[in-house]
């Protein structure tokens, strides 16, 4: 098995498309999606059906798991019937297929309730009076999870399942609490000046995860650009995998 072989689940989505476009020159990319795409290297299958997806994991070194309904307002019944089973099945198919690492697309909504607290509530509203961005206490991955809805709960499940698959089976799982990543690649509302993850920084983050030593067995990282007003801590990502975001949402002020 070559370290170069990458499977992207949910490759037809926004993040999947960005990664496919930017990584194809460096890695051998295979896709898995329930939608048919004009690409011979995309397996069409539903991740809620374990048996149907297992062939896609053959000969794969790293999986980038994006297979879920990505809307933060996704209803609970969809989380229970689609997102949670999909995440579990991807981990199980990876284990059965001999995959070495899964990069799980978690979400900032795992800790979204912190944004109800000051000073984060002021920052997301774009109200910076009396605040110094250098003194804002950062929300780290060591802090308790505080999901802000069913979507965040589903992503928290994925992180917990990833921890189990590492501890019990030795499957490396890196969870990315992705910030605001939109098609435009820029801030559209005040909150985004703190939470933006640009397309280029997304690619940098995923590449760092792919290339990280296999000794980085399990970890959780915030995916956010180097925004002046960001309130998520990326220090552990720098230390563990060398991720250094380069973009700043202030460029669009």
Tens digits of residue pLDDT in 234-246: 999 999 999 999 9
Domain boundaries, the chain: 5-252
Mean pLDDT of 142-165: 98
For 4, the token pair is 């170069």
CA distance 180 to 194: 9
What values do phi and psi take at 247, rounded to 5?
-100, 160
Beta-carbon contacts of 61 under 8 Å, excluding residues fewer than 6 positions away, are: 1, 2, 3, 4, 5, 6, 99, 100, 101
What Å distances lie between residue 142 and 12, 19, 115, 205, 243, CA to CA? 33, 28, 17, 19, 18
CA distance 252 to 194: 12
Q: Do 116 and 124 form a contact (C-beta atoms < 8 A)? A: no
pLDDT at 108: 98
Which tens digits make up the pLDDT trace of 105-114?
999 999 999 9
Q: Do 18 and 202 form a contact (C-beta atoms < 8 A)? A: yes
For 174, the enclosing helix (H) or strand (E) is strand 172-178
Does 5-252 carry CATH code 3.40.50.720?
yes
Q: Name the nearest CA neighbour of 63 among 92, 36, 22.
A: 92
Q: Work out the percent of the chain whose per-residue pLDDT is above 70.
A: 99
Which tens digits make up the pLDDT trace of 41-70?
899 999 999 999 999 999 999 999 999 999
Q: What is the value of pTM for the model shown?
A: 0.97
Mean pLDDT, rounded, of the chain: 96
pLDDT at 190: 98
When computed from its CA atoms, the radius of gyration of the chain, rounded to whole angstroms, is 18
Q: Do 241 and 216 form a contact (C-beta atoms < 8 A)? A: yes
């Amino acid at each position: 098995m070559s370290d170069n072989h990458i499977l992207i689940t949910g490759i037809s989505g926004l993040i999947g498309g960005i990664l496919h476009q930017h990584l194809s020159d460096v890695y051998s990319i295979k896709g898995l999606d329930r939608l048919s795409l004009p690409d011979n290297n995309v397996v069409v299958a539903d991740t809620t059906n374990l048996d149907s997806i297992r062939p896609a994991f053959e000969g794969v070194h790293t999986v980038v798991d994006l297979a879920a309904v990505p809307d933060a307002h996704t209803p609970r019944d969809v989380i229970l019937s689609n997102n949670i089973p999909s995440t579990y099945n991807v981990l199980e198919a990876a284990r059965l297929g001999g995959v070495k690492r899964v990069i799980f697309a978690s979400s900032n909504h795992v800790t979204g309730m912190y944004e109800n607290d000051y000073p984060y509530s002021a920052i997301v509203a774009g109200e910076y009076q009396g605040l110094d961005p250098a003194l804002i206490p950062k929300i780290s991955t060591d802090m308790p999870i505080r999901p802000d809805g069913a979507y965040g709960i589903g992503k928290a499940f994925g992180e917990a399942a990833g921890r189990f698959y590492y501890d019990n089976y030795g499957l490396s799982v890196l969870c990315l609490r992705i910030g605001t990543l939109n098609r435009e690649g820029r801030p559209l509302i005040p909150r985004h000046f703190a939470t933006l993850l640009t397309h280029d920084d997304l690619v940098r983050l995923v590449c760092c995860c792919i290339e990280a030593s296999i000794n980085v067995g399990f970890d959780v990282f915030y995916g956010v650009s180097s925004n002046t007003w960001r309130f998520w801590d990326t220090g552990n990502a720098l230390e563990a995998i060398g991720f250094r975001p380069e973009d700043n949402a202030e460029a669009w002020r």
